[in-house]
Amino acid sequence: MTGQTAISVLLVDDHPLVTEGIGACLETWDNITIAGTASNGRESIEAACQIKPDVILMDINLPDMTGLQATRHIRARQPHSKIIILSMHDNREYVISAIEEGACGYLLKDVSSSEVATAIETVYRGGNYFSTDVAKALTGPKQHSVLTKRETGVLALLAKGSTNKMIGRELGISERTVETHRKNIKRKLGISTTAGLTRYAMENGLTN
Amino acid sequence: MTGQTAISVLLVDDHPLVTEGIGACLETWDNITIAGTASNGRESIEAACQIKPDVILMDINLPDMTGLQATRHIRARQPHSKIIILSMHDNREYVISAIEEGACGYLLKDVSSSEVATAIETVYRGGNYFSTDVAKALTGPKQHSVLTKRETGVLALLAKGSTNKMIGRELGISERTVETHRKNIKRKLGISTTAGLTRYAMENGLTN
DNA sequence: TGGTTTCTACCCAGTATTGGGTATGACTAC
DNA sequence: GTAGTCATACCCAATACTGGGTAGAAACCA
């Protein structure tokens, strides 16, 4: 610890082992201090408002909501805190949405702890940080984000095993509408079976 | 480090952040030392033969093979090393297979680093260690009814996106029979939808 | 403002799946 | 030699999904 105050960081991940591990790694940096941890979206929002950390390291897969939803809530209540999304799976298709929600950084699963530290420092100083592969994904030849948000939501529930009726109840829309979304998803992806859709969803990280 | 030699541990996970993190946590225990890390199945087998660690902490999801396949190979070449399976996702259905492959422990994603340390010490001393939820799954009322060969075959095709009719043609049996198999599979696994079956098949490596 | 996309919702007829059954021959284990 | 499992196959009625549509309201963009 030098004379200046360290950057306070809030860790959000539902794996205790991961928060503990990243915490242990980051604590070795003099200018970073772990101000707290949270294991789901609701906790992360509460912790962000209480602790008011400089930087939040947010996993994208949380049990109660996605890291992006948590990010939106936190940005609304605690705009001071910079948020870095940490995608432990290889789902890079959220990058655009993450930026839209106000995230300052996006790290893929294959980063080292020193890169995390660099990212924390960068966003703390007001910059943005995206791991190399993410940057490539952004500039690369057109990602197939063909599905709309609603369609993505329907597909995620579909892949979890919900029927059209259940999805309709869950999303507060008619079963007919779900059927329409389902048809459009299949047309857009060129997939005709439920099994195929489930595979697509799993391979693209739409399922937890 | 006391007078006695520390337990040497090999960490296997494709996320550098996870191996670094767990490593940093475990190094705080005097009687545990990280002898090496590997980020895929092939590397883990090589490292196990070279380093001959006392204990191997093996993630179940590796890029080139499953942790169970790696376990089998290592058990054949390096039977001295005790292997603990670490399932960072919630897939506990591998437990039986893990034991069959010769793993000495099985940890679910929601363990703390101290529980990992306990597990390492336990298996090092010749015991077995299963995190509480896993033990529950093993002893619980739920019969781990295994699928027959035919049922497995049907499930694999199902997960590929085939309809009952297509599966019947492919396997040279009646569509009625496929329906029966499908019913039995769903009853055995306690899954009611096609999407659920597809997920199960993918998580259990039936889709190659 | 005006066009486009997104989300919503429905119609219809056809096909597929579901969840109850029953049943028979073959093979396996004790 | 008999009990149990496996693979086969069918019946039936109910439910779910499919693949064509159309169409209005809201949101988004230029």
> Least CB-CB distance to A18: which of B18, B198, B199?
B18
Q: Which of residues 101-160 of A touch strand C (CB under 7 A)?
A: 148-151
Give contacts of A193 with chain B, Cβ < 8 Å.
161-163, 194
**What mean pLDDT comes out for the span A121-150?**
69
Is some CB atom of chain B closer than 8 A to the CB atom of A133? no
Cβ A17–B14 below 8 Å, yes or no?
no
Which candidate in A11, A13, A14, A15 is best for mutational testing of the B interface (most B CBs within 10 A)? A15
What is the Cα–Cα distance from A200 to B207, expressed in whole angstroms? Answer: 13
Give contacts of A89 with chain B, Cβ < 8 Å.
none
Domains and CATH numbers, chain A: 7-139 (3.40.50.2300), 149-203 (1.10.10.10)
In this structure, is the CB of residue B182 within 7 Å of any atom belonging to strand C?
Answer: yes
In this structure, is the CB of residue B77 within 7 Å of any atom belonging to strand C?
Answer: no
> Least CB-CB distance to B15: which of A110, A162, A199?
A110
What is the Cα–Cα distance from B192 to A194, expressed in whole angstroms? Answer: 13
Task: Give the pLDDT of residue A52.
Answer: 94
What is the Cα–Cα distance from A205 to B37, expressed in whole angstroms? Answer: 26
Pairing verdict, β B55-59 and B82-87: parallel
Q: What is the pLDDT of residues A8-29, one digit of tens each?
A: 999 999 888 889 989 998 988 9
Q: Which nucleotide is nearest to A163 (CA to C1')?
A: D16
Task: Give the pLDDT of residue A90.
Answer: 58
Q: Report the gap between the CA of B14 and the closest CA in chain A (Å).
A: 7
pLDDT exceeds cutoff 70 at A40: yes
| CA dihedral sign of residues B97, B98, B103, B107 | negative
Q: Which residues of chain B have pLDDT under 70?
A: 1-4, 89-94, 96-97, 133-145, 205, 207-208
Is some CB atom of chain A closer than 8 A to the CB atom of B20? yes
How many angstroms separate the most distant Cα atoms in chain B?
69
Q: What is the pLDDT of residues A170-198, one digit of tens each?
A: 888 888 898 899 888 888 788 888 888 88
Amino acid B203 CA to nucleotide C14 C1' distance, rounded Å: 34
Give contacts of A112 with chain B, Cβ < 8 Å.
16-17, 20
Are B29 and B23 in contact, with CB atoms under 8 Å apart? no
* Three-state secondary-structure class, residue B10: strand
Amino acid A65 CA to nucleotide D16 C1' distance, rounded Å: 28
Are A113 and B21 in contact, with CB atoms under 8 Å apart? yes
**What stretch of H or E contains B177?**
helix B175-189
CB pairs under 8 A between A and B: 121
What is the Cα–Cα distance from A142 to A116, expressed in whole angstroms? Answer: 27
Q: Report the gap between the CA of A159 and the closest CA in chain B (Å).
A: 5
Q: What is the pLDDT of residues B44-54, one digit of tens each?
A: 999 999 999 99
Percent of chain A with pLDDT over 90: 24
Task: Give the pLDDT of residue A117.
Answer: 92
Q: Report the gap between the CA of A152 and the closest CA in chain B (Å).
A: 15
Are A195 and B160 in contact, with CB atoms under 8 Å apart? yes
Are B137 and B106 in contact, with CB atoms under 8 Å apart? no
In this structure, is the CB of residue A163 within 7 Å of any atom belonging to strand C?
Answer: no
Task: Give the pLDDT of residue A89.
Answer: 66
DSSP string, B102-165: T-SEEEETT--HHHHHHHHHHHHTT--EE-HHHHHHHHSSS--PPPPHHHHHHHHHHHHT--HH
> Least CB-CB distance to A24: which of B21, B162, B196?
B21
Name the residue among A30, A23, A27 with its Cα closest to residue A1: A30
What is the Cα–Cα distance from B12 to B81, expressed in whole angstroms? Answer: 13
Q: Report the gap between the CA of B155 and the closest CA in chain A (Å).
A: 11
Backbone angles phi and psi of A157, in degrees to 5 = -65, -40
Task: Give the pLDDT of residue B45.
Answer: 93
